[in-house]
Structure formats: structure tokens, C-alpha cells
């Protein structure tokens, strides 16, 4: 299997734009997915197939991909967006891998 690398932490002020990156050698060939997890809660899917947003997820959440790096962008960050964010991908055999997670702090 392979690894996905995320920064441990990102900090932004309310109203600013947060960008969380995820790097992995297989990302040019495999889709990436993003989950938000708040303390004591189960993860929630916020982006799938690199840039698609599930119903019910605010438009301020977006995803993009370039080469071996995918990026989760949160525009106009709100206090409620403070959480851990995990990227995830899989190889062609169905083996799933998660990034180590990024703690987003809203200052």
C-alpha cells in the first residue's frame, strides 16, 4: 500500500480561507476523499472523487487535485469548521488508506 501525507495542523482566522493538503504518489491515478471529524463524533464525508460535494455539505467546502497533491479548501471559515480533517484514497484492489489527519484551528 502507499501513504498519504497531511500537515498536522492548520490555523486560520474566521472568514479567511483554509487550505489543507494531502500528498501521495498514487493520487494522480486514484481519487481522493475528505472527511471532517469533530471531537467525540464519527467522521463525515465532505468531498468525494477529488472535488465533488455530497448533498448537505456547505458550498464553502471544495476540493482540487494537481499531480500528487490534493487540496481541501474551506472558504470563509466559520468557528464550526474547527475539526480534524482526513484525506483518504484507495488502490485498485480496494485497499483503503487514510492520511494522518490535519487539525484545523479557527483562531
Residue 39, burial from CB neighbour count under 10 angstroms (0-12, 13-18, 19+): exposed
Residues that bind another protein (CB under 8 A): 1, 31, 33, 35, 37, 41-45, 48-49, 54, 84, 86, 88, 90, 92-101
Residue in the block written with cell 501525507:
5
Q: How far is the CB of 35 from another protein (least distance, A)?
A: 7
Q: How far is the CB of 105 from another protein (least distance, A)?
A: 16
Is the CB of 34 or the CB of 106 nearer to another protein? 34
Shortest approach of another protein to residue 19 CB, angstroms? Answer: 20
Nearer to another protein, 96 or 107 (CB): 96
Output 1 or 79, the one with its CB closest to another protein: 1
C-beta of residue 40 within 8 angstroms of C-beta of residue 103: no
**86-100 core/surface letters (b: 16 or more CB in 10 A; e: else):** bbbbbeeeeeebbbe
Amino acid at each position: 500500500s502507499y501513504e498519504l501525507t497531511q500537515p498536522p495542523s492548520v490555523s486560520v482566522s474566521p472568514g479567511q480561507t483554509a487550505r489543507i493538503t494531502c500528498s501521495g504518489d498514487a493520487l494522480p491515478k486514484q481519487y481522493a476523499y475528505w472527511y471532517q471529524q469533530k471531537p467525540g463524533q464519527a467522521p463525515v464525508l465532505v468531498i468525494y472523487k477529488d472535488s465533488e460535494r455530497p448533498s448537505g455539505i456547505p458550498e464553502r467546502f471544495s476540493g482540487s487535485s494537481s499531480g500528487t497533491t490534493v487540496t481541501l479548501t474551506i472558504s470563509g471559515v466559520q468557528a464550526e469548521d474547527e475539526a480534524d480533517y482526513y484525506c483518504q484514497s484507495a488502490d485498485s484492489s480496494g485497499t483503503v488508506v487514510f492520511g494522518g489527519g490535519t487539525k484545523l484551528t479557527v483562531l
